[in-house]
Structure 1
């Protein structure tokens, strides 16, 4: 049985309970890794309220933004600037129910802070990796396991966390060139207003042509 935390009803309720959950700004590691890429087609898996999709569209990408929550997608579509709205396709998709994007279809597959238990995580990421076109980039960013020891709010479930090096080891070296696999530090503010250093697990890999 799927943990309710990973279902559409859970996320619809969470998004529906407040006006906004996220900042609306792009995730910093997306900006760091994608700013130098030539715009093409992008899949933003687990897009939430659309911050990453908006940024990609502004850079000239044509974006498929997918999320399990219809409430999040409706909110994201409603707040998209008119000048980029036609560059984004919003799609409801349940990654744990076996949804798979079109193979070899995207020049960038962006997956930011999608945390599933290890038994579920591998198959989901494998399906997303298949969607990367030859020459395209797979970018996966997550909270690093070391964040469990910080004062930032994180679920105290080690199985939800992983390193970029672990992900890199799961990629076929005959098909992928690993560009980045590291724990990248950045500053954040915890709920008590204290500045803390956290780490993102950042994997960027390019599918060989």
Structure 2
């Protein structure tokens, strides 16, 4: 479950999350097939263990994590996306058993267990989701000594049309505040807005800004 900033604020006819995302992924490949740059940067230096990838989409992050030695549980609401992600993993030569694919509507169910890393990138959706509640569940799934990585859009891209209503994406500090985690149990490793290069639809160079929150749970 991941969307571009434009899609994150677009209005759609009422449909379920499954229907929307199966339709979104029911065309050709949506994303680049490359892992998110923030994931690659922020996971560098972590000792591979178990990781929960929430909203895995077409599986680029999950495949990259598996290639780095992580044992991945990758979750999405869309069966279409999960099937495409599994095919990507097979094409990439990821060994059997390295990635477990699970379908969850995170508004209704959540994977079991504790993980050394819980990662979610761009958990925005045109279909309403209880994002704060999902992120709190993500924090609960972090094992002692583990890391929580939440990456979101910080703003609309420069090429997006002017919306007809106010649009706001929470900053890393606001996400941290809304998690309401006990300070005595967590260390803030990163809470920042980070620019990254992008390409506009017309092919011109551009920049996007990501909101990055990285926390470590005390052992």
Normalised by the length of structure 1, the TM-score is: 0.88
What is the 5 A alignment of 1:189-204? 189-204=199-214
Kindly tell me: are residues 128 and 155 of structure 1, through their superposed partners in 2, closer, same or farther at Cα, counting changes over 3 Å?
farther
108-117 vs 86-95, which moves further = 108-117
| Residue 28 of structure 2 corresponds to residue 19 of structure 1 | yes
> Offset at 1:119?
8.0
What are the residue-to-residue correspondences of 1:118-157 with 2, within 5 Å? 120-144=130-154, 147-148=155-156, 150-152=158-160
The DSSP-based 3-state class of the residue aligned with 2:201 is coil
**1:51 maps to which of 57, 60, 78:** 60
C-alpha distance 111-160 of structure 1, shift in aligned 2 (>3 A): farther
In the alignment, which residue of structure 2 is the partner of 1:62?
Answer: 71
Q: CA deviation at 1:84?
A: 3.2
Mind listing any 5+ residue stretches in structure 2 that lack a counterpart? 1-12
2:94 is equivalent to residue 83 of structure 1? yes
How far off is 1:79 after superposition? 2.0
Counterpart of 1:32 in structure 2 is 41
The higher-RCO structure (CA 8 Å, 6+ apart) is 2
1:162-190 deviation digits (Å, cap 9, x = unpaired): 11011122332121101000000111111
Q: Which shows bigger deviation, 119-128 or 107-116?
A: 119-128
For residue 122 of structure 1, report the CA deviation from its aligned partner.
1.2
Q: Distance in 1 between matches of 2:46 and 2:132?
A: 26
Aligned to 2:175: 167
Please tell me the root mean square deviation across aligned C-alpha atoms, in Å.
2.3
- Is the contact made by 1:95 and 1:124 (CA closer than 8 Å) also made in structure 2? yes
Contact 1:96 1:124 in 2 (8 A): yes
Return the alpha-carbon distance in structure 2 between the equivalents of residues 158 and 183 of structure 1.
20
